[in-house]
Structure 1
Amino acid sequence: MTSDVWLPLRADDIDGLPEGLEYRFWDGGQEFPADPADCVFYVVPYMRPPGVAHRPLARMTSVRVVQTLSAGVDHVQSGLGVLHPGVRLCNARGVHEASTAELTLALILASLRGVPGFVRDQDRGEWRSGFHPALADKSVLIVGYGSIGSAVEDRLVPFELARVVRVARSARTTERGPVHPLTDLPALLPEADVVVLTTPLTDATRGLVNADFLARMKDGALLVNVARGPVVDTKALITELESGRITAALDVTDPEPLPREHPLWRAPGVLITPHVGGPTSAFLPRAKRLLAAQLRRFASGEPLDNVVFTTGA
């Protein structure tokens, strides 16, 4: 029976890995570290194009687990059709919450307080003060209230908000209050000053933020996307930005990377960061803890955490 584990991090750098498995280092390079047919646990290289993650899959005839180091799995799930039934796909829940929530707060504050304009003024040596909105007393709508959405709310708590409204795929109740279903969005959007997107990319959320969604947002509202670019209809967003009715802060775009000549770069009222929500100093310690814990469960036959999809199910 094979026991190869493919890791994009050096096994010697990860504390707590179980014995009895053969650890192979592969971070997406041209050469495979061993025969893919012997791999039983495949950790997808982080921040690589989907084609890299997919390349060994067709030859992984023994694989039982595919583990991502990203919160979203859309870039990997699309390639799992070549695998045998019963392979579990696990995401990196618990790894990116702190970093992504920090960036979300930074994007909100920078956009509301006019920081991009101040930076441009600094480059020109110009001192221009002015009046800008505060986050205090605002209503924030979080669309996609999972672990990242909850972490965003954790960091919003001290800012004296008027309220936080939570939306997820289905309704439920949390210690902080109700979570509304996606079907409630048309009624909730007109009341939100800030709309934060933290939802995974699925068939239900692709293009969720379309012309109708944007039209329902209140005048002067801010849209923040730290989810996936295709959750937003880029053409519809540009139309609204050019009207000056709303503003946006985007860590993800569609397309991505955003081409140099794309009109979204030059749209008024938009702040763009290059998909940097996850890769911070907080990533490696949490990624290593996740991998060690998952592999200990795998080696002992215990149920894995973060299983989001099983092939053939």
Structure 2
Amino acid sequence: MKALVSQETHDEIGRRLLAAVPGIEVLPYDPAAAELTPEQRTAEVLVPPYSRSHRPRRLVPQLPELRMVQLLSAGADEWQGDVPAEVLLASARGAHARPVAEWVLSAILTTLRQWPALVRAQDEHLWAHRRFELDTLADKRLLVLGAGSIGTAAADLARAFGAQPTLVARSARPGVRAVADLPDLLGEHSILVITAPLTDATDRLVDAGVLAALPDGALVVNAGRGRIVDTEALVAEVKTGRLRAALDVTDPEPLPADHPLWTLPGVIISPHSARTVPGTEELCYRVAAEQIGMMLAGQTPTNAVTARR
């Protein structure tokens, strides 16, 4: 089975790992190309690169034998709706859990320990002893919206700091509350962590009503997708000083230079880089190799997703 894998430098690890899977012939391709070569058009698997993964979408109609699109991202929203119904779409769910969970905890601790203000004081050579109200994660209640691998990993790390996480998913299961329970949970948690994927059900799920139900001083941490949060509602709450935010994803994204989120007190922003640490590319491609191997064996890949149409 022939698989198209990006020819770009940072995908070299992927070409090597997939070439080692029995039954796979790797065909390097240019994700930015307008046309595929005759040999590339015979591929049955397309692996978009993680960086700007939407680029090869226009190549899909040139692949008459396509059976599977294997993503390197945890979410599939950039591709759902662009993959033919008969073609399997799979994510790299699980590969991003450790690095993104680390980002979540670092964002929380950075906010609670007032690092942005302390760094600004350092820039001014100011010994800001006791000038800022610092806080601790111990005994804080975290509401983790999204109980997949990332949310679970973030909850585990939070427990190590003495926090009390509550996991929330679409439906309840042991140790996980249902999203329908949100109205009863929001007022009891001072930190809302978003790690859910973007779906029809989660699009703008964190709206003005959800934000208003959070207690004063609450922190909203978004490591999922920007569109899960109503940006205008978030800006309105942060402007009053009632809520704070730590964002790795935004809506719109990239965030325009003149957007108010950049300058609002109580907001820290990273440029969709929570998973960008050494070794993550290899983790993603190892999951991809596993998923493609399952398809080759006639099994349904565990990370198969339903197209969002």
TM-score for both structures, normalised by structure 2 = 0.91
Contact conserved, 2:15 with 2:28, CA < 8 A, in 1?
no
Taking a change above 3 Å as real, the CA distance of residues 310 and 212 of structure 1, as seen in their structure-2 partners, is closer
Is the counterpart of residue 71 in structure 1 residue 74 in structure 2?
yes
Which of these residues, 4, 7, 24, is aligned with residue 5 of structure 2?
7
Q: Which runs of 5+ in 1 are unaligned?
A: none
Taking a change above 3 Å as real, the CA distance of residues 95 and 32 of structure 1, as seen in their structure-2 partners, is farther
Task: Provide the rounded CA distance (Å) in 2 between the counterparts of 1:137 and 1:286.
Answer: 33
Task: Provide the rounded CA distance (Å) in 2 between the counterparts of 1:12 and 1:248.
Answer: 38
Partner residue of 1:155?
Answer: 157
Give CA-to-partner distance per residue, 1:33-83, whole Å, 9 cap, x none: 534531201111212153x13111122221111111000100011322xx2
Is the counterpart of residue 110 in structure 1 residue 110 in structure 2?
yes
Task: Provide the rounded CA distance (Å) in 1 between the counterparts of 2:207 and 2:224.
Answer: 15
Is the counterpart of residue 99 in structure 1 residue 96 in structure 2?
no
Q: Equivalent residues in 2 for 1:37-186 (5 A)?
A: 37-48=41-52, 50=54, 52-80=55-83, 83=84, 85-130=85-130, 131-161=133-163, 163-173=164-174, 177=175, 179-186=176-183
Partner residue of 1:309?
Answer: 306
Give CA-to-partner distance per residue, 1:93-131, whole Å, 9 cap, x none: 121001100000000000111011111112222221233
Contact conserved, 1:209 with 1:231, CA < 8 A, in 2?
yes
Task: Provide the rounded CA distance (Å) in 2 between the counterparts of 1:45 and 1:65.
Answer: 14
Partner residue of 1:260?
Answer: 257
Task: Provide the rounded CA distance (Å) in 2 between the counterparts of 1:74 and 1:295.
Answer: 20
Taking a change above 3 Å as real, the CA distance of residues 16 and 262 of structure 1, as seen in their structure-2 partners, is same
Q: Aligned-pair distance for 1:220?
A: 0.7
Contact conserved, 1:230 with 1:253, CA < 8 A, in 2?
yes
Taking a change above 3 Å as real, the CA distance of residues 62 and 264 of structure 1, as seen in their structure-2 partners, is same
Task: Provide the rounded CA distance (Å) in 2 between the counterparts of 1:213 and 1:193.
Answer: 13
Task: Provide the rounded CA distance (Å) in 2 between the counterparts of 1:218 and 1:311.
Answer: 34
Task: Provide the rounded CA distance (Å) in 2 between the counterparts of 1:40 and 1:95.
Answer: 23
Q: Aligned-pair distance for 1:269?
A: 0.7
Taking a change above 3 Å as real, the CA distance of residues 279 and 170 of structure 1, as seen in their structure-2 partners, is same
Partner-residue secondary structure (3-state), 1:170: coil
Deviation >4 Å, runs of 4+: none
Contact conserved, 1:86 with 1:310, CA < 8 A, in 2?
no
Task: Provide the rounded CA distance (Å) in 2 between the counterparts of 1:144 and 1:27.
Answer: 34
Q: Which runs of 5+ in 2 are unaligned?
A: none
Task: Provide the rounded CA distance (Å) in 1 between the counterparts of 2:110 and 2:148.
Answer: 24
Task: Provide the rounded CA distance (Å) in 2 between the counterparts of 1:37 and 1:194.
Answer: 49
Task: Provide the rounded CA distance (Å) in 2 between the counterparts of 1:166 and 1:311.
Answer: 24
Contact conserved, 1:17 with 1:295, CA < 8 A, in 2?
no
Partner residue of 1:280?
Answer: 277
Task: Provide the rounded CA distance (Å) in 2 between the counterparts of 1:17 and 1:33.
Answer: 24
Give CA-to-partner distance per residue, 1:171-214, whole Å, 9 cap, x none: 111xxx3x111111111101101110001101111111111111
Taking a change above 3 Å as real, the CA distance of residues 7 and 217 of structure 1, as seen in their structure-2 partners, is same
Taking a change above 3 Å as real, the CA distance of residues 30 and 160 of structure 1, as seen in their structure-2 partners, is same
Taking a change above 3 Å as real, the CA distance of residues 64 and 206 of structure 1, as seen in their structure-2 partners, is same
Q: Which moved more, 1:282-291 or 1:218-227?
A: 282-291
